[in-house]
Amino acid sequence: MNEYSKPGEACGLFGVYGVPHASISIYQGLFALQHRGQESCGIVVSDGAGIRASKGLGLVDSVITKQVCVELEGHIGIGHVRYSTTGSNLSQNVQPLVVECADGIWAIAHNGNLVNADKLRRMYQESGAIFQTSTDSEVLVHLLADPMFRNRPRRVARALCELKGSFAYLLMTRDCVMAARDPNGFKPLSIGRLGKGYVFASESCALNQVGADFIRDILPGELVVADQTGLSSFIFAEPRSECMSQCVFEHVYFARPDSVVFGQNVHDVRRKLGLKLAEEHPVKADIVIAVPDSGNSAALGFSQGSGIQLDYGFIRNHYVGRTFIMPKSGQRADSVDLKLAVVDSVVRDKRVVVVDDSIIRGTTARRRVSTLRKAGAREIHMRISSPPALFPCFFGVDFPTRAELIASEKDAEAVRKYIAADTLGYISLEGMMSAFDKPADYCTACFCGKYKVDVSGMEGKQSLEKNSAALCLNIKA
């Protein structure tokens, strides 16, 4: 278990087709998606004849320099920023993965987590295949190279059908870009138009960054191909409308507030969460403050709903970045202290409502409360814009065991005592879902234990408790 108490997300994807100086657009797009992963990044570009790549550990602006953009000339490309939920933080795991198959070079970038990756990996290893990485993303490479798929029509669509779990994929050959989402729709992926070319991105904020016009979201179970003929689309697996599983944490925490994710603006959703939180957990206080940045919109909503003045009690050091995606627990713990500073004059002798998006492991919330006490806050009332996280996630959010979730072992009062707040209030599951236009389309398994995808194969790997039935897990095939 790491020391930082925020969830971690897998990564961000950005790709272009038919866009001059593709490397520059990809750099800009990945820069807008940097909040989704800070461990590593990479871009792969093609001029229609050859493929060139630049990848490395670190932030976008340190790996993809101006000189790199000059050297990677082409009009086709894909890029990736990574936080590792599967596979360690090693250079060979940096994406996009670039491999040479019998029919040429492929590049692959993945956001999500495949629950049948181990099974597929063992199958190919037993037949003699050699894996170059420890990521689940690589299994798609072996499916594409398998003669059973390579020699048949719609090989990519057929290969994608073999995958179970959450995925948004960008794939590239020397003359096309392909994009796909899993049939349950866990991860976001959108299409935009830039000049005469096309853009693919995990969030709409990246489309805005490069000046692209939003076209639409890629549908669950859809494979979209951009090539010299334009855009074409295939449904490789029927969307599982009764099992739609859009990740609710995209709105609660991961996405930028200026993004439109799953058809709704993130800021608007978070503000509604704050309004509902004020309704469900009223309190007498002098000021409302946010834990920036993901708590800002919810704090605004809480202030509007309660009538309590909103103020800046925490100031964020933007040069530290989002500490949940730092690869080592020591780095995360140190960066918690560097990330936020308290404005003493704002909180001193005040009854303070602190609005945050979640409490996962509890250590960071405890640090925040302690810091506010030292600054002279008279009372500290924690308000959380998501319900208690009780169950592991197997689809790309980095809390894979119940042991890592403080709320799975402690009720709200025990959590309050642990973080040393005067009061603690979580939004209810029903209250959270009231912020969404189509609440049934979201995955809330981490709050209620009702998985819409079969996760039985993950029990050994990620310590899903044997008494899952007693924990009311409603697992559907």
Instruction: Return the active site residues.
Output: 11
Residue of 28, 44, 33, 43 lying closest to 10 (CA atoms)? 33
Give CA separation, 443 vs 245, 246, 248, 389, in Å: 4, 5, 6, 13
ω into 47 cis (within 30 of 0): no
Residue of 52, 4, 12 lying closest to 33 (CA atoms)? 12
Angle between helix 266-280 and 296-306 (nearest 10):
40
Residue of 159, 34, 184, 173 lying closest to 108 (CA atoms)? 173
Partners of residue 373 on adjacent β-strands: none
Residue of 198, 146, 170 lying closest to 17 (CA atoms)? 198
Q: Are 159 and 204 in contact (CB under 8 A)?
A: no
Concatenated DSSP letters of 425-441: EEPPHHHHHTTSSSGGG
Alpha helices in 225-295 (DSSP H): 249, 266-280
Give CA–CA dist 161/236, Å, rounded.
7
Alpha helices in 217-264 (DSSP H): 249
Give CA separation, 105 vs 108, 168, 421, in Å: 10, 20, 56
Q: Are 377 and 418 in contact (CB under 8 A)?
A: no
3-class DSSP state of 470: coil
Give CA–CA dist 199/210, Å, rounded.
9
Give CA–CA dist 12/170, Å, rounded.
10
Q: Are 440 and 244 in contact (CB under 8 A)?
A: yes
Give CA–CA dist 442/387, Å, rounded.
14
Place of tokens 């070319």: 197
Tell me how many degrees the CA angle 418-424-430 measures, rounded to the nearest 5.
Answer: 125
* Residue 179 identity (one-letter amino acid): A
Give CA–CA dist 416/2, Å, rounded.
21
